[in-house]
């Protein structure tokens, strides 16, 4: 576990290198976060309004000594500048925080064949397969949808 001078565990922000200008922009702008894959978060600058999709970048996170830290961003600032980390990584670490980054680290993709609901395999319309049994008993005096359609 990485620690700082005081002996406490470092935060994700302490692993980043950024200046006052970046910190101000992160604080002033609006951000949203969406998990898009294992260890990947889509960071969107919502301040751009209808053009926000052009200002959305995937940030990869990594476990560093027990702390989940933003490591790579696909934005031009992160790819072409070596001196400072980009505002998307700083926004993820500060605004999104540990909850979003730990969720990205725990994210897993299940194949559709393994996803079930109540022991039933979902079908494309979200309903039950045609061969399933009637649910009228579970609904009390109300008929299930299949029985209602056939009445």
For 67-125, give the DSSP string: EEEEEEE-SHHHHH-SSS--HHHHHIIIIIHHHHHHHHHH--PPPGGG--BTTBPP-TT
- My answer on whether 19 and 52 are in the same domain is yes
Q: How many domains are contained in the chain?
A: 2
% the chain with pLDDT above 90: 54
Whether 8 is in a domain gets the answer no
Written as one string, the DSSP assignment of 34-72 is EEEETTEEEEEEGGGGGGGGGGEEEEEEEEETTEEEEEE
Whether 134 is in a domain gets the answer yes
- My answer on whether 28 and 70 are in the same domain is yes
pLDDT in tens, 10-65: 899 999 999 999 999 999 999 999 999 999 999 999 999 999 999 999 999 999 98
Residue 133, pLDDT score? 55
Residue 144, pLDDT score? 62
Whether 85 is in a domain gets the answer yes
Residue 8, pLDDT score? 73
- My answer on whether 90 and 132 are in the same domain is no
- My answer on whether 64 and 35 are in the same domain is yes
Residue 113 has pLDDT above 70, yes or no: no
Residue 83, pLDDT score? 82
- My answer on whether 127 and 85 are in the same domain is no
Domain extent, residue 125, equals 116-151
Neighbours of 101 (CB within 10 A): 24
CA atoms within 13 A on the CB side of 144: 12
Torsion over CA of 69, 75, 77 and 81, rounded to 10 degrees? 70
- My answer on whether 59 and 130 are in the same domain is no
Residue 117, pLDDT score? 41
- Rounded Cα distance between 24 and 94, Å, is 12
Closest to 96 in 3D by CA, of 136, 130, 68:
68
Closest to 135 in 3D by CA, of 127, 126, 147, 124:
147
Residue 6, pLDDT score? 62
Q: Which two tokens stand for residue 134?
A: 């009637």
Confidence of residue 114 (pLDDT cuts 50, 70, 90): very low
Residue 116 has pLDDT above 50, yes or no: no
- My answer on whether 98 and 130 are in the same domain is no
- My answer on whether 147 and 94 are in the same domain is no
């Amino acid at each position: 576990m990485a620690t700082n001078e005081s002996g406490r565990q470092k935060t994700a922000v302490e692993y980043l290198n950024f200046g006052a200008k970046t910190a101000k922009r992160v604080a002033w702008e609006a951000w949203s976060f969406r998990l898009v894959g294992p260890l990947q978060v889509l960071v969107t600058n919502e301040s751009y309004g209808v053009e926000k999709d052009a200002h959305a970048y995937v940030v990869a996170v990594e476990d560093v000594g027990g702390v989940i830290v933003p490591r790579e961003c696909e934005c031009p600032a992160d790819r072409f500048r070596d001196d400072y980390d980009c505002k998307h990584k700083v926004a993820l670490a500060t605004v999104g925080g540990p909850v979003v980054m730990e969720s990205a680290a725990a994210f897993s993709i299940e194949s559709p064949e393994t996803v079930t609901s109540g022991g039933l395999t979902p079908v494309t319309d979200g309903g039950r397969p045609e061969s399933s049994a009637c649910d009228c008993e579970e609904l009390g005096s109300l008929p299930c949808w299949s029985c209602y359609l056939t009445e």
